[in-house]
Structure formats: C-alpha cells, structure tokens
Chains A and B, each alone.
Chain A
Amino acid sequence: MENITDQRHIMLRVEEKRRESPAFATLFFDYCLAFKPGQFIMVWIPGMDEKPYTISYHSKTRFAITIEAKGLFSRKAVSLDKGALVGIRGPFGNGFDIYPDSSAAVIAGGCGMAPLATLVEKLGKNTVFIHGARSKDYILYPDRFDIQRQFCTDDGSFGYKGFVTDLLKQQIESGRQFDHVYACGPEIMMAAVFDLCEEHHIPCQVSLERYMRCGFGVCGACVCGSQIVCKDGPVFNSTALRDMVDFNKKALLKSGKEVDLSLYFSWRCQ
C-alpha cells in the first residue's frame, strides 16, 4: 500500500497577504509542508469551493500560494486577510524532475510563473530564465530571484515586445546548449515551447492545468487522453507529451464534456 499522507484538510490561517500587483496576491501560511516543485495542493475556502493551487514559496516553516483574481473563487481568495481560515489537502501530483547541475532553461508565462518559482530556486545560477506576460502588471515577482531573467510582454510595456519562444529561439540559435527546458504558462505557449524543444532535441517538462476534483487520480475529472493530470502529472515530459493527443487541443468541462481548449479556458476564467 502507498503511504497516504494527503487525507482530509489541514486547516490553516492566513499568516500574511502580499499584493504582488493589481492582478495577483500571495497568501502565506506558517506550516511545514513536504513538497516538491511542480506539485499542487487543493485549497478549500469553507463555504465557497476548493481549487488546485501550486506552492509559490516554500521553506521549512512557511509556504505560500499565489492567486490571480479571475473567477469567483480566485477573487474571494485574493480578498482573504491575515487570520482567514483555509483548508488544504495535498500536496498532490508528481512535480518536476530536477537535475541541479545541468544546463536548463525555465520559461514562464503569466501566472505560470508561480509553479516555476520554487523550481528556479533549486537550479544553478547559469539557468536561462525567460518570463513573459501580457503586460507589466502581469509580471509576477519582478524582483525575487538571484538568477538573471529576460522579460517580455505582449504589449512591450516591460522588457522585449514579443513571445517567450522568440527569446528561447534566440538563445538556442546563439549556440546555447540546454539539457532541460521547463515551461509553465498558457497551454498554447507550452505547446510552442515543446515544439521548439522537439525541433532541437531538448528534453522538456511542462505543467498542465485541468479542472480537478479529487486530486489523487480516482474521479477522472482531469483526464487528458489517457493521462490523469492530477496523478500522472501535472508535470509531463517530452515522452508523455508526444503521445498526448489532447495536449493543446482538448479538455473536459466540469460536466465531463470534451471541448476545444479555447472553450475550456473561457469557461475557467468565468
């Protein structure tokens, strides 16, 4: 039998809230959570709902989640103040495979920065770190890391005007060798990163998002083709992505109905 450590909710109080930008807030909890970058927890606001969030800050005594205010739940979550009671289950999922001494590139898009933050802190100083967002307000943690970062925005309001893949391509074409590329962001961005990596034979890991219920691989709400995103993922490597026919194409709505990804994401942002 597996050693199950992620049962029921652990009830915690918000210790600190940090406004990252008009779009994001980070909630800190003083709790020792066994955790690996790329894993997620289910966050329950009693009386409201429960949603999956990645851990965006992690130490032996503290962890945090970062929330982008988009829908009903996330708007409520960013409005929580110090002392608010929140339940967590987890962590769940596989997390990133980390190779500390290798040459890596980390590609973040929008709130996809959050799951990559704790990963970046475990990688070497020579890591190439590319971070894109739609505009300056959506650049998370602009001053947080020791590693130098290349920024880009869709509207040019911060850093290079253009896409993260433009910058990654420049790096590759300048002769920079990568052993691993990690990406998290909009699925269309991750698919573009994956394609670029395939073209240049670079192993890639991306973190997927799907509607989730149980978090531990039984209910089936988050299946993507034959993969169970909450249990087999949420991080998938190149080998898995090559066989994942629904990657960047299809997702299940809450009802279980399979739809095109664009329809899925417009629903998720309600």
Chain B
Amino acid sequence: MTIEFLGKPLKNPIVLASGILGNSRDILERVYMNGCALVTMKSIGPEPRDGHKNPTVIDLGHGMINAVGLPSPGYLNMENEWLALENRSFPLIASIYGGSVHEYQMVAEYVSSKQPDFIEINISCPNSEKHGMIFGVNPVSTHEVVSAVKKVVQVPLIAKLTPQAPDIGEIARACEDAGADAICAINTAGPGMVIDIESRQPVLAFKKGGLSGPMIKPIAVRCVFDIFQAVKLPIIGLGGITTGKDAIEIIMAGARLVGIGSAVRYRGLDVFQKVADEIHQWLVEHNTCLDDIRGAAHRSIG
C-alpha cells in the first residue's frame, strides 16, 4: 500500500496528526514503528510557551475537547531534538505556528534549515489568544502568511486548515495561489465548551476548546470534499478518523493521506497499523486500490 506524497515514498497513507504525542524523537519513532508512515511534531512556536493550565484535555466519549494552548520550547530551544532527528529513520513533518506573518516566517526559515521532510503551517489552532486560527479563516491573510512562509522554506509546505472558515474551499485556493504544496484538513472543530454543573464553571482552564474524534468526522469529510473540488493540491484528510472504513470515507472525499490523532485514545498506540491493515483489507475485498477510490464521491455528481 505504498504511496507517494510530494515526491516522498511512504509505506502507507497514515499520518500522525500534530499535537498528538510528537514531543520527542523517541516517541515519534515509536509511532512510526506502530504503522504510521509520516509523523508530525508538535507545533513549534516563536518563543517558549507553557500552554494553558489544566484541565486541558477531556474525553467526552464520542470525541475530545482540548485547549492545550500550543506549548512549545520555542524554535531556538530545540537543538537536542533537532540533533536527535538528524539521523532519523522516518519521514517527518515539522508543524509551526506564529502570532504574526513575521513570526511565522522567522520560525519557518529556521525550521526549514533543520531539514524536516515537510513543514506544516498551522493557521488553524483555536486554542490561543493570538496565534493561528485568525489567519486561517480569511483568504487574504491566509494568502499573505502562506506566501511569506513559502518564500523562506526549502522543503514542501503543507497548510493546515480550520473547519471554522466560512468557505474552506476558498481558503484552500488562497493556499494554492500562495504556493502551498499540500493541504491538511481539518484542525479541531468548534471551539466548544463543557460546563461542570456542580461547580457551575467551564471545565477547561481556557474555557473553550477544539473538538476532535469521531464526533467531528462528518465535518472533516465535508471539508475535504470541498477542498478537493477547489484545488489540485494533495490533501491530508483528518478529523475523527478511527477505523479503516473512516479512512476510506475521507479518501473518497478526496484525501491522499489520512491523519490520525484522537483515535490513539480509543484504539491504542497501534491504531496506525490497525487502520492501515483495515484499509488494505477493504481494498482487497473490493478489488480496488487507493488511486481508484480517491475522490470517488465526486464522480457520482452530475
């Protein structure tokens, strides 16, 4: 089930979503060894940032709500990690964020010099006062930040989008025009809120948080469907993908690769291999292949 992504051969279409594990070379490698073809580091920011106080992540059963708040050592404080990643045996996406176009550019240029296989620009995180999502809901600011980053990076650039955009196809087009090489969709949905009725207050310390897991899958499928119609760029589809059939569904919406995050909670760390195996099995049973089903849901439309 090997597949090529922006010139890079991958063992299967499974990607580790940013923000899940991804805190050290060793854990990224373990995820890779558990069947994941392409792993994403936690988003790297312009300065050291602790993230929010707890509670930051709550499981609601049908998915999670989180406001971890973009913790990062800061791009200049990760020398040991970059060193450890130099001789890695696995393909790597470095996710980055900033609070301004200038900050995005600064982080991107430096991170690019560390030679990850891809850079993912996070213009979609709902969990910070000033970072991320503000860019990803407007095509003009999206174009501005993506083109600025594209100018300074030497590796293919993936734009990670938010489902909060009123027209995600339009945002994807802005990314394509600005020189992005691929789209990753979606980041967490919402933001939502959970209130504890006994203490009468929001549970998350940040009050609001992004939704993930099975409950957002229909939003993810719709977004990937819209993006596939809007642009020619390859798409990493994610949002609630938990089983092989979920993966097939988002591939039919148009995804080339499939991201997995919250499903680690629901099926364990070997969820990557399980989903890869389930995709393979479904393809065999239906006597078909990934190339054949990608975007298949569009063909039935007149």
Selecting from B6-14, B133-141, B265-273, B292-300, the interface stretch reads: B265-273
Residues of chain A contacted by B73 (CB below 8 angstroms): 253, 255-258
Docked CA distance A24–B22 (Å): 36
Residues B213-241 near A (CB distance < 8 A) = none
Query: Which A208-226 residues have a C-beta within 8 angstroms of B?
Result: 213-221, 223, 225-226
Query: Quick check: A46 and B201 within 8 Å, CB to CB?
Result: yes
Residue numbers in B under 8 Å from A89 (CB-CB): 58
Interface residue stretch chosen among B44-52, B88-96, B109-117, B178-186: B44-52
Q: Report which of B23, B49, B262 forms a contact with A221, defined as CB distance below 8 A.
A: B23
Q: Which residue of B lies closest to A245 (CB)?
A: B26
Interface pair B74/A2, CB less than 8 Å apart: no
B54 at the interface (CB under 8 A from A): yes
| CB pair A8 B23 closer than 8 Å | no
Collect the chain A residues with CB atoms within 8 Å of residue B19's CB: 219
Query: Does chain B have a CB within 8 A of A7?
Result: yes
Residue pair B199, A87 in contact (C-beta under 8 Å): yes
Cα-based distance from A2 to B242 in the complex (angstroms): 12
The answer to whether A8 and B58 touch across the interface, beta carbons within 8 angstroms, is yes
Residues of A bordering B, CB below 8 Å: 1-2, 4, 6-9, 11, 42, 44, 46-47, 49-51, 85, 87, 89, 213-221, 223, 225-226, 228, 231, 245, 252-258
B266 touches A4 (CB 8 A): yes
Q: List 17 A-B contacts (CB under 8 A).
A: A4-B61, A9-B203, A44-B55, A44-B203, A46-B199, A50-B54, A214-B66, A218-B20, A219-B20, A223-B24, A225-B26, A252-B24, A256-B23, A256-B72, A256-B73, A257-B48, A257-B73
Q: Tell me, rounded to whole Å, the shortest Cβ–Cβ distance linking A93 to chain B.
A: 14
Task: Count A-B contacts at CB 8 Å.
Answer: 137
Which residues of the partner chain B approach A47 to less than 8 Å between Cβ atoms?
Answer: 199, 201
When distances are taken between beta carbons in the complex, the residues of chain A under 8 Å from B203 are 8-9, 44, 87
- CB <8 Å contact, A220 and B21: yes
Q: How far is the CA of A189 from the CA of B296 in the complex (A)?
A: 60
A196 to B30, CA, bound (A): 29
Which residues of chain A are within 8 angstroms of B29 by Cβ–Cβ distance? 226
Whether B190 is near chain A, meaning CB under 8 Å from some CB there, is no
List the A side residues contacting B21 at CB < 8 Å. Answer: 218-220, 223, 228
